[in-house]
Chain A
Amino acid sequence: MRVNVTINGDQRQADDVWEGESLLYMLRERLGLPGSKNACEQGECGSCTVYLDDVPVCACLVAAGQCQGREVRTVEGLAAGDDLDPVQRSFVEAGAVQCGFCTPGLVVAAHDLLRRVPEPSDPEIREALAGNLCRCTGYEKILDAVRLAATRQASGAEAR
């Protein structure tokens, strides 16, 4: 089948999509957007998290065909050119990134949290990121990054 979908603001088209194909596969293998990672394909790790019409989803669990006529935003679409989103900048500065494989999913999940809850409590951060596994960092620096991004947004200086 053919799928027409808006990705990071661009109108994109994928052909010969198989009915059972995931959004993640379409992004990575057909549309040249390998930023979202495949680490379990079962909704267990959160590495594939993307926005679908502004709702974060595990792209491995969404059928590509379901995205027909809808909007998808991936980790590649968060920064404005070289200008990183405050969440991305905070991940780098707080040291929340090691191997980086969990990072794209975490950045999207944290981005979504801060849009909904600008000043989250620690339990709210932990809850929002509960579906994102990281094997490297021990999580502490990821929580620091989210706190840092929240502070930045609250101060308004970095708001966009």
Chain B
Amino acid sequence: MSPLIGRAVPRVDGHAKVTGGARYAADTHVPGVTYGTLATSTIARGTITTIDTTLAQAVPGVIAVFTHLTMPRLVTPPSPYPKGFVPLQDATIHHNGQPVAYVVAQTLEQAQEAAALIDVRYHAEPAKVAIDDAPGEEFLPPPGPEGPQEFVHGDPAAGLANAHKKVDATYSSPVHHHNPIETSATVAVWDGDQLTLHESTQSISLTQQIVAQALSVPQNTIRVLTPFLGGGFGSKAPVWPHTLLTAAVARQLRKPVKLVLTRAQMYTSSGHRAEFRQQVTVGAAKDGTLTAIVNISNQQLSRTEQRVFNTSESSWMVYGCPNIHAKQLGVRLDLPTPHFMRSPEGPALVGLEMALDELSYELGMDPVALRLKNYTDLNPENGQKIGNQNLPECLKLAGDAFGWSRRNPTPRSMRDGNELIGWGMATEAHSYHARASSAWVQIDTDGHALARCGTQDIGTGTYTVMTQVTAEALGMPMNSVRFELGDTNFPAAGFSAASVTVSSVSGSVDKAARAARDAVIALAVADPHSPLHGAAPDRIVTEHGFLFLTDDRTRRDSYQGVVSRHGKPVEATGSFLNVPGYTTGASFIEVRVDPWLGRVRVTRAVAAYDIGRVMNHRTARSQVLGGMIWGVGYALTEHTMIDRHTARIVNPNLSGYLVPVNADAPKIEAFFVDKPDPTSPVGAKGFGEAPITGVPAAISNAIYHATGRRIRDLPITQDKLL
């Protein structure tokens, strides 16, 4: 029987999703639910001088209006709560869009009408909202969870001095917003001192922990449920104030409260990718050997938090270079706290991959050859092997399929009629974290298995892939296995972010399932009624719901037979801590540019990745397709615009913030090296964030090839090419 793992099985939750049956947080029906809404600040910096809620309270149906004067007192949770403060606790305003009142009413319309009638007066102070507003204010933030903000290896100055050719350029990208199609929602239901939160989160455990800290209640009094999530991309990985506030007002009012953020509120309530600027200097010897990589970056931080999210691992993890200097500066601005957004290591890699393209032209060397020349799988921090990351094979797989060898490197040399054609490429790379997880598997007397883990399916396919992992470990058909997640009553797992879910959770699910299988085998060999009675357990295999003797397959029993004779279900648990790692790949892009209008279309994309053993070719490919279109948005359209005078976001909606639409989608081919990672019981690596990381650079490099214009400030909008 061919293994289940790897097979491109359709999503097990597909039926629920195409029929409208999948229940997301905001779909939760709770009898007697009341509706919360936030009134938010219209200034970015200053204090509330007066707040008058008289008119709001008079709106029919209004149950309560909480301001900083009346809101229950909450504790500001420590990191990883990313905000540094809880709103509605004092009169200070730290950013535009900060909650200044929380209204609860019988219906949403009543709450919204009341919120609009609150009269807030401020003492406003001048605000800074762009890196350019604060020259000279950048500083080196203290070390974060990823380590110090500065990395020096060898002698970068000497490396640059000895270089045959150098590139020294500044690259920048604006604020981006995640824009999952589901906006964040919380439904808080108290029953005595027990709280149930129906939450749109990428981390049920973290939600449980942070809410408990804010409310000063024991963690085990809170249950968090997220059976389905409508995308997150990082925006729902941390716990944000709206969740804390909703839990608190529901407790105060002794009523269930539902809060759904509006699309506009998502732009100030759940993080963003910080504005980013980097000066990249790279030098190489005549043969292309890198002599130095210097990447000095600066990014927006908030007034209340200084964690750096656009990190520079790629400066030292991808290429072997004896002299490296990476420095991650930050500047505090009067904006909401930024956070990670799908592929936070992407922005720094984008600059590096554009600089290497420039260097390839300086050297007169093919850009793929330049990367192959400098590839390493050793971590310069410790000299250790980084693990499976077969970049050379990825470059070959994708490059051959793309037809890269036919490329004429001269800019403006390829045309089709009036259109300029450009081919560009870039390396893709992202690390994935380690997270502990546990799982529970039960085999029932009817021969069916139920697996549970307190993880999440953020749209990536956890339900499906973990059903495959469970079924394969048990030796059962997939339709005999049910996998459940998204409930803090299940064994705990980490967040679904940092590309960690599959690589961590597959280990504990596999272990729990194998332990359950072994327990059933032990029952069979001890059972005088079993044809396997007395056999050596290590000579028994399980397939398709049956147990066989390896050398005499006529001696067989079934899960259903063994467990039903046992008379009660068999259960087992498993725990696992994955090894963190690094995933690489390569993307090759074709663009067509209208030279008169500056209009760019990405017409073809080919990518290859080393993601360890592919768990499901369909869901893995989906990550590539989704990542690729994110790269298109990053390179060409996505840009949160902030008015520098009012400090307000100008385009907090889906008509002004341009996420790619179906007409923007190129033809995409994806390849995988597909070799098991030895550190994982099932061979899996973390993957979801590697696609995208190089795509914006590959597109920019292709635009240079098409037009001869090097645009270093993303997105590359039409005006920049005119």
| Closest chain A CB from B575 CB (angstroms) | 28
B10 near A93 with CB under 8 A, answer yes
Set of chain A residues within 8 Å of B21, measured between Cβ atoms:
35, 76
Set of chain B residues within 8 Å of A100, measured between Cβ atoms:
13, 16-18, 22, 228, 230, 459
B20 near A36 with CB under 8 A, answer yes
| Closest chain A CB from B663 CB (angstroms) | 5
B182 near A78 with CB under 8 A, answer no
User: A40 is contacted by which of B16, B109, B230, B654 (Cβ under 8 Å)?
Assistant: B654
Given A126-B663, A137-B626; A98-B22 close (CB under 8 Å):
no
A95 near B618 with CB under 8 A, answer yes
* Assembly CA distance A59 to B76 (angstroms): 39
A142 near B107 with CB under 8 A, answer no
| Closest chain B CB from A136 CB (angstroms) | 5
Given A37-B182, A44-B654; A99-B230 close (CB under 8 Å):
yes
A91 contacts B by Cβ under 8 Å: yes
Q: Within B650-676, which residues are at the interface with A (CB < 8 Å)?
A: 653-655, 659-663, 665, 667-668
Q: Which secondary structure dominates chain B's binding surface? A: loop
Q: A-facing mask of B1-25, CB < 8 A → 1, else 0? A: 0000000101101111111111110
A138 near B182 with CB under 8 A, answer no
B17 near A97 with CB under 8 A, answer yes
Which residue on chain B has the smallest CB distance to residue A101? B230
A72 contacts B by Cβ under 8 Å: no
| Closest chain A CB from B604 CB (angstroms) | 12
Q: Within A82-96, which residues are at the interface with B (CB < 8 Å)?
A: 84, 88-89, 91-93, 95
A45 contacts B by Cβ under 8 Å: yes
A97 near B14 with CB under 8 A, answer yes
Q: Which secondary structure dominates chain A's binding surface? A: loop
Q: B-facing mask of A54-89, CB < 8 A → 1, else 0? A: 000000000000000000001110110000100011
B262 contacts A by Cβ under 8 Å: yes
B625 near A138 with CB under 8 A, answer yes
B188 contacts A by Cβ under 8 Å: no
Q: A-facing mask of B614-643, CB < 8 A → 1, else 0? A: 000011011001111100000000000000
A37 near B230 with CB under 8 A, answer yes
Interface segment among A18-26, A113-121, A150-158: the answer is A18-26
Q: Bin chain A's interface residue count.
A: 35 or more
Which residue on chain A has the smallest CB distance to residue B629? A138
Set of chain A residues within 8 Å of B23, measured between Cβ atoms:
34
A41 contacts B by Cβ under 8 Å: yes
B461 contacts A by Cβ under 8 Å: yes
A135 contacts B by Cβ under 8 Å: yes
Q: Count residues of chain B with CB under 8 A from any CB of chain A.
A: 58
Set of chain A residues within 8 Å of B8, measured between Cβ atoms:
95
B180 near A92 with CB under 8 A, answer no
A25 near B19 with CB under 8 A, answer no
Set of chain A residues within 8 Å of B18, measured between Cβ atoms:
75, 84, 88-89, 91-92, 97, 100, 103-104, 107
Set of chain B residues within 8 Å of A138, measured between Cβ atoms:
622, 625-629, 665, 668
A143 contacts B by Cβ under 8 Å: yes
Set of chain A residues within 8 Å of B11, measured between Cβ atoms:
92, 95, 97
A133 near B182 with CB under 8 A, answer no
A13 contacts B by Cβ under 8 Å: no
A7 contacts B by Cβ under 8 Å: no
A159 contacts B by Cβ under 8 Å: no
A143 near B10 with CB under 8 A, answer no
With most chain B CB atoms within 10 A of its CB, the pick from A39, A104, A133 is A39
B645 contacts A by Cβ under 8 Å: no
B460 contacts A by Cβ under 8 Å: yes
Set of chain A residues within 8 Å of B231, measured between Cβ atoms:
98-99, 101, 135-136
A103 near B17 with CB under 8 A, answer yes
B58 contacts A by Cβ under 8 Å: no
| Closest chain B CB from A2 CB (angstroms) | 15
| Closest chain B CB from A12 CB (angstroms) | 16
| Closest chain B CB from A28 CB (angstroms) | 7
A41 near B109 with CB under 8 A, answer no
Subset of 23 A-B contacts with CB under 8 Å: A20-B109, A25-B108, A32-B29, A34-B23, A34-B24, A36-B20, A37-B181, A42-B653, A42-B654, A45-B181, A79-B19, A95-B621, A95-B622, A97-B11, A98-B626, A101-B24, A101-B230, A130-B663, A135-B180, A136-B459, A136-B626, A139-B629, A141-B622
Question: Which 3 pairs of residues, A with B, have the shortest CB-CB distance?
Answer: A35-B20, A99-B459, A101-B230
Interface residues, chain B, CB within 8 Å of chain A? 8, 10-11, 13-24, 26-27, 29, 107-109, 179-183, 228-231, 233, 260, 262-263, 458-461, 618-619, 621-622, 625-629, 653-655, 659-663, 665, 667-668
Interface residues, chain A, CB within 8 Å of chain B? 18, 20-21, 25, 28-29, 32-42, 44-45, 47, 74-76, 78-79, 84, 88-89, 91-93, 95, 97-104, 107, 126, 129-130, 132-143
Extra A-B contacts (12), CB below 8 Å, given A32-B29, A34-B23: A34-B27, A37-B230, A45-B654, A95-B8, A98-B459, A98-B461, A99-B231, A101-B182, A132-B662, A133-B181, A136-B459, A139-B661
